[in-house]
Every structure is written in structure tokens, then in C-alpha cells.
């Protein structure tokens, strides 16, 4: 009897663990940033990024686009964490690695907005583990 109670209790704990920790990742379509965060990212983009990527995020020559079909072609199927890591390590070109994690999240929020992904009620997190669980999907129109 005690052995059965032990196994039932263990199974209940395992079920609760699955519910709490094995939730599926979200996607860029599910409102993973706030409008305010994107506005802050836009201001930062204007200061740090527009000189190379252009005011419309279109890129030019060797500088990749951050909005539009070319950007989406490169990023759909990857995670927001992938983009965040790349920005953190390589941008701005004049001082790579100088952006703080919150600034990178603001820039990513602006990039998401510029690619017609919806804003939501919660800020885009700045920790890599959370960002790795947000997947790029083609934006809905």
C-alpha cells in the first residue's frame, strides 16, 4: 500500500513538472514584445544602426536587410535567441559587443515590429534561454 502511494505521488510530481517546465516555445507571431519596447528600439536603431542598415532597415551591398523578404528568408525557422546572439556579438560594427542585453532586446523588438509581427503585453526578455524558445515564423498578414 505504501509503495503504491509512493508511485502515485511520484507520478503526480512528474506530471506537474511536465506542465510547469515543458511548455512549448512561443513564436514571433504571438506578441513577444511591447510597443514601448519597439519604440525604444527604434530610437536606438536610429543612433546605432541606421547609418549602415538604412532608415528603412533595407540594408545595402554587404549590409544585410533587417526587414522584408530577404530578412525573413534568413531568419524564419531560427530563434529570436539566434538573432539576439548575432546582434550582441557583432553589432554595432563600429564597436561590436558593446550593446547591453536590454538594448539588444529593444532592437529585436523594433526589428519584429518592422517585419509586421504583432506587439503584446509582455516585454521581450533579455536572457538568452528565454529568447532561444521564441521561434521565427513567417508573419501573418
Joined together, the cell numbers standing for residue 127 give 536572457
Q: What is the structure's pLDDT at 5?
A: 43
CB 115 within 8 A of CB 139: yes
Q: What is the structure's pLDDT at 25?
A: 74
How is residue 136 annotated by DSSP?
-
Joined together, the cell numbers standing for residue 70 give 530577404
Question: 118, 96, 99: which is closest to 109 by C-alpha?
Answer: 118
Q: Which residue has the higher pLDDT, 50 or 17?
A: 50
Across the range 111-132, mean pLDDT stands at 97
Cα–Cα distances (Å) from 98 to 4, 77, 92, 103, in that order, read: 57, 27, 7, 10
pLDDT tens, 31-89? 999 999 999 999 999 999 999 999 999 999 999 999 999 999 999 999 999 999 999 99
Joined together, the cell numbers standing for residue 18 give 511536465
Peptide bond into 98 cis (omega under 30): no
Q: Which domains does the chain have, with CATH numbers?
A: 23-135 (1.10.760.10)
Amino acid at each position: 500500500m505504501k509503495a503504491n502511494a509512493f508511485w502515485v505521488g511520484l507520478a503526480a510530481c512528474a506530471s506537474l513538472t511536465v506542465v510547469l517546465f515543458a511548455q512549448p516555445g512561443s513564436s514571433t507571431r504571438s506578441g513577444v514584445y511591447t510597443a514601448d519596447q519597439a519604440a525604444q528600439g527604434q530610437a536606438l536603431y536610429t543612433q546605432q544602426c541606421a547609418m549602415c542598415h538604412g532608415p528603412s532597415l533595407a540594408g545595402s551591398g554587404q549590409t544585410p536587410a533587417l526587414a522584408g523578404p530577404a530578412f525573413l528568408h534568413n531568419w524564419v525557422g531560427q530563434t529570436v535567441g539566434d538573432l539576439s546572439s548575432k546582434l550582441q556579438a557583432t553589432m554595432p560594427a563600429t564597436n561590436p559587443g558593446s550593446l547591453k542585453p536590454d538594448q539588444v532586446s529593444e532592437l529585436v523588438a523594433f526589428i519584429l515590429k518592422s517585419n509586421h509581427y504583432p506587439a503584446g503585453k509582455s516585454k521581450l526578455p533579455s536572457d538568452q534561454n528565454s529568447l532561444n524558445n521564441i521561434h521565427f515564423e513567417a508573419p501573418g498578414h
